[in-house]
Amino acid sequence: MAQQTRSYKFKAEVTQLLDILVHSLYTNREIFLRELISNASDALDKLRFEQTRGTEVTNPDLPLEINIELDEKNKILTLSDTGVGMTRDEIITNIGTIAKSGSGEFLKKLADDAKKKDVSNIIGQFGVGFYSVYMVAKEVVITTRSYLKDQPAIRWRSDGSGTFKITDLEEELPRGTRIEVHLKDDAEEFVQKHRIESTIKKHSNFINFPIKVNGEKVNTVQALWREPKAKISQEQYEEFYKFFTLDSEPPLDTIHVSIDAPVQFNSIMFIPKHTFDIFGVSKDEIGLDLYVQSVLIQHKNSDILPEYLGFLKGMVDSPDIPLNISRETLQENQVVIKIKNVLVKQILSHLQKMAEKEPDKYKEFWDAHSKVFKMGYTDYANHERIAELLRFNSSVHKDGSELTSFAEYVDRAKEDQKEIYFITGNSREALNTDPHLEIFKRKNIEVLYLYEPVDEFVMSGLSKYKDDYTLTAVEQADLSKIDKYENVETSEEPVEELTKSDETVFKKLLEKVQDILGDRVKEVRESKRLKDSPSCLVSPDGTMTSHMQKIMRIMQKDESVPQKIFEINKNHPLIRNLLAIYKTDPKEPFIVESIEQLYESALLLEGYLNDPHKLVNRMQTILQKSSEWHPNKK
Ligand code: ADP
Ligand code: MG
């Protein structure tokens, strides 16, 4: 039978990617070697995993290693591994398409980075590492044979310009993959032994298999996490982190745990200085690499960490996990569950220590990862620890850069205050003028400022701090608990009290307001909370806060306006004027207009006003009238 060769086209996005890589000049081209070595190492990891669970493989006695041969005469670098290899179908799908979601965005970012001449970070992180070989290659020939029984060897070749050719080979080849890199004229440095060796030391020193260059071993194979902690230097951790994450910056912090009971395991975890979800592919990026006695069982296992600790990068190695476990059953494995529980406790107490001893570092952690970490409100078993780690903006701060904890709030609270008050809004500026806060300012009671949708879920999820303090939204506060406190002293003139008879008229006015608004509101009442605003809307007891309702309404595409309580400030000059008008003529249409305007303004503030037309028209009429009366109008 003659050897068959067929031509294929790369998928469109691969062609685009190759085009960017081939036609740009890079400062950091050596990373192609890191990518090829890490693919070889992945293939060896997979093979070792199959072997340990008892799968029968082709050529079982081949040593697990990576070999690099440098042919200076012909300018060819050849990298071979004895890993799982690829079948014909595998090579067509694995090298020829980009399977990951978000590849469009990735290509955009890559084109940008290419202009800055450094693609080294982004390429490995997105998992299209193989193609980086075309930064240095004018042609690549891959010869590969799968570890699966009775699979023929195949040869793949391409110059990276849009098509590749595949040939089925007839000869019996050993298992694994051999990649011949025919170097471009301007990339000939990559056949020099010292150049290759130093690149391996720099980027691939932690690879768990021997890497040989022209037959000589280059890397120091070591499982750092099995070394005693005291023997590991800061530099080693840092190097390991960079190897692991391809981050160019060092980590913010390192957590290294060695546990003997109830399960035995070692784990090194890092808190990066920033998040890694640049392409929104973060879901696949969550988790720790799982080893059993230095054999990699699974990359990024997401069962071993809860989602809210997903910002951590690192690995776990435990001899207690059964070696022949399938990836599917890991999730229910009791050992994995135990490791997870211990890890969570260790991580939370590490963070607690950081918060106490290194507040600046903790703030950096909070700024980078709090969005993810706040999801911890779903971890009921650890509520108390998590509550101590939360940070908030607060009314006591001068600006948004400071943060406070529940513990600090409680320290500052009034003696018998059993509530921790909070309010949600878009910004500090918006909250500073929120009518709901007026009474809190007047009584000098601290309020936590929340800005993100998840914050309300955190508050209702926790509901209490230390069992003693109820987390309460200001609009749902029981004002009798607040009213008893002294007012903050001011230089303002106290407002003149209403006379007894005016009080009665005011009650009538409230009834009139109720008539005007009808069932658009649940109730109309005199406000205890307002000072500078004439009116506001509040949520009836036992319902959700406005902010939460808004989130639900968006989720349910609900546009209706919920029934709320409309509160009126009888001491506000506008209301006093309306009262005077009402006393003269209760039927005066201006009263209706004003009340409608106040109600819609309150809706607008709360984010419920669907149609602003009426409000704007009314506003123009009112402005027109007041301009008629303007003293300077002749
Ligand atoms: P990633 O490694 O992130 O998946 P790459 O572009 O580096 O992305 O590689 C694409 C795929 O090609 C790999 O996932 C793997 O399936 C396959 N592959 C690459 N190199 C090898 C190799 N040496 N042995 C076996 N399979 C390989
Ligand atoms: Mg790769």
Work out whether the CA dihedral 336, 337, 338, 343 comes out positive or negative.
positive
Distance 235 CA to ligand 1 centre (A): 29
Fold entry, domain 390-483: Rossmann fold (3.40.50)
3-state SS assignment for residue 17: helix
- With respect to CATH, is domain 500-541+554-628 assigned 1.20.120.790? yes
Q: Find out whether 457 and 410 touch, Cβ atoms under 8 Å.
A: no
Distance 97 CA to ligand 1 centre (A): 11
Whether 5-217 shares its CATH topology with 500-541+554-628 is answered no
The pLDDT assigned to 501 comes to 92
The pLDDT assigned to 471 comes to 96
Nearest protein Cα to ligand 1, atom 21 = 39
Rounded Cα gap, residues 379 and 560, in angstroms:
34
Nearest protein Cα to ligand 1, atom 14 = 94
| CA angle (103 as vertex; 120, 46 as ends), nearest 5 | 70
Q: Which ligand is nearest to the CA of 177?
A: 1
Question: CA Rg, the chain, in Å?
Answer: 34
Q: DSSP class of residue 376? A: G
Ligand 1 pocket residue status of 40, Cβ below 6 Å: yes
Q: Find out whether 350 and 303 touch, Cβ atoms under 8 Å.
A: no
Q: Can you give the residue ranges of every domain in the chain?
A: 5-217, 224-361, 390-483, 500-541+554-628
Kindly give the number of the ligand 1 atom that is closest to the alpha carbon of 95: 12
Q: Which residue among 13, 37, 39, 93 has the greatest number of ligand 1 atoms within 8 angstroms of its CB, and so is best to mutate?
A: 39
Amino acid code (one letter) for 273: K
The pLDDT assigned to 105 comes to 79
Rounded Cα gap, residues 504 and 240, in angstroms:
77
- With respect to CATH, is domain 5-217 assigned 3.30.56.10? no
Torsion of CA 543, 544, 546, 550, to 10 degrees: -130
Distance 206 CA to ligand 1 centre (A): 19
The pLDDT assigned to 284 comes to 67
Ligand 1 pocket residue status of 39, Cβ below 6 Å: yes
Ligand 1 pocket residue status of 86, Cβ below 6 Å: yes
**Cα of 313 vs its chain's centroid, Å:** 13
Torsion of CA 343, 345, 346, 349, to 10 degrees: 150
Instruction: Locate 146 and state its tokens.
Output: 């799968």
The pLDDT assigned to 617 comes to 92
59: left (phi over 0), alpha (psi -120 to 50) or beta: left
The pLDDT assigned to 72 comes to 95
Distance 90 CA to ligand 2 centre (A): 14
CA terminus-to-terminus distance, the chain: 107
Ligand 1 pocket residue status of 140, Cβ below 6 Å: no
Ligand 1 pocket residue status of 128, Cβ below 6 Å: yes
Q: Who surrounds ion ligand 2 at CB < 5 A?
A: 39, 129
Nearest protein Cα to ligand 1, atom 19 = 39
The pLDDT assigned to 542 comes to 63
Kindly give the number of the ligand 1 atom that is closest to the alpha carbon of 131: 6
Ligand 1 pocket residue status of 176, Cβ below 6 Å: no
The pLDDT assigned to 1 comes to 52
Top-tier CATH class for 224-361: alpha beta
Neighbours of 424 (CB within 10 A): 24
3-state SS assignment for residue 443: coil
Amino acid code (one letter) for 483: D
Q: Find out whether 558 and 544 touch, Cβ atoms under 8 Å.
A: no
Ligand 1 pocket residue status of 35, Cβ below 6 Å: yes
Rounded Cα gap, residues 207 and 52, in angstroms:
19
The predicted model scores a pTM of 0.76
The pLDDT assigned to 327 comes to 65
Mean pLDDT by 10 residues, the chain (634 residues): 82 88 79 92 92 90 97 97 96 84 78 77 75 94 95 95 93 95 96 95 86 92 84 92 88 96 94 78 76 83 92 94 72 89 97 97 96 94 96 91 95 95 87 88 94 90 94 90 86 84 94 94 91 87 71 75 90 93 93 93 84 90 87 80
